[in-house]
Amino acid sequence: MIVLQRADALLVRLYGSRYNPLYHSGAVTAALMVLLLVSGLYLLLFYRVGAPWESVARITEQRFSGLWIRTIHRYAADAAVVTALVHAWRMFAQRRSWGARTLPWLSGIALLWVTVISGWTGYVLVWDTFGQRLATEGARVLDLLPLFSEPLGRSFAGEQPVPGAFFFLNLFLHIALPIGMGVLLMVHVSRVARAKLFPSRGLMIAGGALLLALSVAWPVEMWDKADPFRIPGRIPLDIFYGFWLVPAAGVHAGWIAFAFLAVTVLLMLVPRLTRPAPEAVPPPSVVNERSCTGCTQCSLDCPYEAISMTPREDGREGIVARVDTSACVSCGICAGSCAPMVVGPPGRTGKEQLDAARRFAAARISTGDAVVVACARGAGHAPGGSLAGAPVFTVNCAGTLHTSVVETLLRSGAGGVLIVSCPPEDCWGREGVTWLDQRIFHGREAELKERVDRRRITVAKLARLQADEALVELEALRRRIAQMDMPERDLSDVDLECDVATAAAGGQ
């Protein structure tokens, strides 16, 4: 986890969160798949199953129309494995792999394997020494299964030329598997709202340009043609697809199959293994249906499509929010979205946040100094409860923050409020930081009231290890509020919609 946090902090400093590839690893993988599809379809026009190596050699001889496109295809395939692994590692390290996220995790593992298998078939299509090694070692493993009437390994023994049907089958799989991946991808993102399938245009253009530059500067070469009667001294090895060939050399095929199976089973068990103990599993959001106004905002904002609006069943007119507990990940974004504070995970609803803020204000706010509202996973989180002398009010995720908390802190005597959130691309609740920003500065429903002076509020979107930047933001806020008149401390109750709604619902 610490490695991930350091890498995040470094790349955010260098490229900003918008262009940090680690934040967009899943979307970058999908974009690479599209690049692979386009370049692969082009290469397909010139490939011949009857003369695989020769046709690839002809492609490679054409610098502009062949070599560079083949190189881009190859490097994009490698990059896809890297970004997919980064994405999986990220989800694992951030414990986003269990509960309602089990389906995305499992489909992601399937996508990773299909990517690797598709890559194997691509290398075999070239039929050079690396492709031959993949084929013969793969045949050793597949021949363990009682699936084939004739051992596959014999096809490469040299008794007969490798049949064109074999390359046709590989070509079919090389095309069919990515098409199947499209279906898997739909399953993979089916549990999230507004799935971001591609990274920002800038990142795509920059990534594409870098791949092109690399392809021109360091293009792939034609390796030796496969020869069934010669043992090559050395073979080229693409570590991203041939990672298993080195440990598999000379090992019984059963052990290779066992290793693949064991890794797959282990990965499939991750949702089970990373699931917290039952008492530590955060409860899903609940709705106080009596007080729900049916505004639909929580349903719109929920990043996991876990909230739907249904007709009321209590005899009153209108609709009410309902939470699908099997889809809810307890991110709490709905708590910040609900102006009347009637939805959210138990203990983290807007009303409970407000109660905590009132207690915090009574105990910690006194001098007109800035107050830090920190995401527990972000750079502002201070175990001692204080950041450079400023009291820190910690929330589970800044995206869950109800705007009434901000108003309460200011009206309780805070000179300003620094909200330290994660970058919007890395929010625990996916879109939480985006919604928070819009609620505070752009009037999104459950908005911060107009009477609150926005100059006293800063939202710093920082990676976990950017504590230095949090201090810089804090000092900037302090300088700003020092130049402003300190308003009268107003401890009278804030005119909160929750209180209004509660009164309307009969005091729940």
Q: In 228-258, which positions are buried (b, 16+ CB within 10 angstroms) versus exposed (e)?
A: eeeeeeebeebebbbebbeebeeeebeebee
Q: Smaller CB distance to other proteins: residue 107 or 132? A: 132
Query: Could you tell me the smallest distance in angstroms from the CB atom of residue 251 to other proteins?
Result: 11
> Residue 371's beta-bridge partner residues?
417
Among 53, 75, 123, 127, the residue binding other proteins under the rule CB under 8 A is 75
Among 106, 237, 319, 356, the residue binding other proteins under the rule CB under 8 A is 237
Q: At what angle do helices 350-364 and 497-504 cross, to 10 degrees?
A: 130
The long-range contacts involving 207-212, CB below 8 angstroms and separated by at least 24 positions, are 207/21, 207/28, 207/31, 208/35, 211/35, 211/72, 211/75, 211/76, 211/79, 212/68, 212/72
Q: List the alpha helices (DSSP H) in 365-419.
A: 403-411
Query: Could you tell me the smallest distance in angstroms from the CB atom of residue 11 to other proteins?
Result: 8
What is the residue type of 384? G
Query: Could you tell me the smallest distance in angstroms from the CB atom of residue 219 to other proteins?
Result: 10
Our finding on whether 253 is near other proteins (CB under 8 A) is no
Our finding on whether 161 is near other proteins (CB under 8 A) is no
Q: Which of residues 8-27 bind other proteins (CB under 8 A)?
A: 10-11, 14-15
> Which H/E stretch holds residue 433?
helix 432-441
Q: Smaller CB distance to other proteins: residue 154 or 454? A: 154
Q: Smaller CB distance to other proteins: residue 79 or 339? A: 79
C-alpha closest to that of 268 among 386, 129, 414, 107: 107
Q: For residue 181, what are its two tokens?
A: 């991946």
Of 97-105, 227-235, 341-349, 473-481: span binding other proteins (CB under 8 A): 227-235
Of 148-156, 185-193, 304-312, 457-465: span binding other proteins (CB under 8 A): 148-156
Q: Smaller CB distance to other proteins: residue 78 or 499? A: 78
Our finding on whether 158 is near other proteins (CB under 8 A) is yes
Among 3, 45, 64, 150, the residue binding other proteins under the rule CB under 8 A is 150
Our finding on whether 157 is near other proteins (CB under 8 A) is yes
Q: List the alpha helices (DSSP H) in 350-395.
A: 350-364
Rounded Cα distance between 406 and 19, Å, is 30
Among 154, 359, 449, 455, the residue binding other proteins under the rule CB under 8 A is 154
Q: Which of residues 437-476 bind other proteins (CB under 8 A)?
A: none
Q: For residue 173, what are its two tokens?
A: 């799989």
Among 240, 260, 296, 505, the residue binding other proteins under the rule CB under 8 A is 240
Our finding on whether 165 is near other proteins (CB under 8 A) is no
Our finding on whether 273 is near other proteins (CB under 8 A) is no
Rounded Cα distance between 276 and 416, Å, is 37
Tell me which residue has tokens 């089970």: 272
Query: Could you tell me the smallest distance in angstroms from the CB atom of residue 49 to other proteins?
Result: 23
Total length of the chain: 508
Q: Which of residues 178-217 bind other proteins (CB under 8 A)?
A: 210-211, 214
Size of the site for other proteins (CB under 8 A): 42
> Residue 417's beta-bridge partner residues?
371, 457
Our finding on whether 228 is near other proteins (CB under 8 A) is yes
Q: Smaller CB distance to other proteins: residue 16 or 282? A: 16
Note whether 339 and 497 are within 8 A (CB): yes
Q: List the alpha helices (DSSP H) in 249-346.
A: 253-273, 297-301, 333-337
Our finding on whether 218 is near other proteins (CB under 8 A) is yes
Return residues touching other proteins (CB under 8 A). 10-11, 14-15, 74-75, 78-79, 82, 143, 146, 149-151, 153-154, 157-159, 210-211, 214, 218, 220, 228-240, 242, 245-246, 249-250
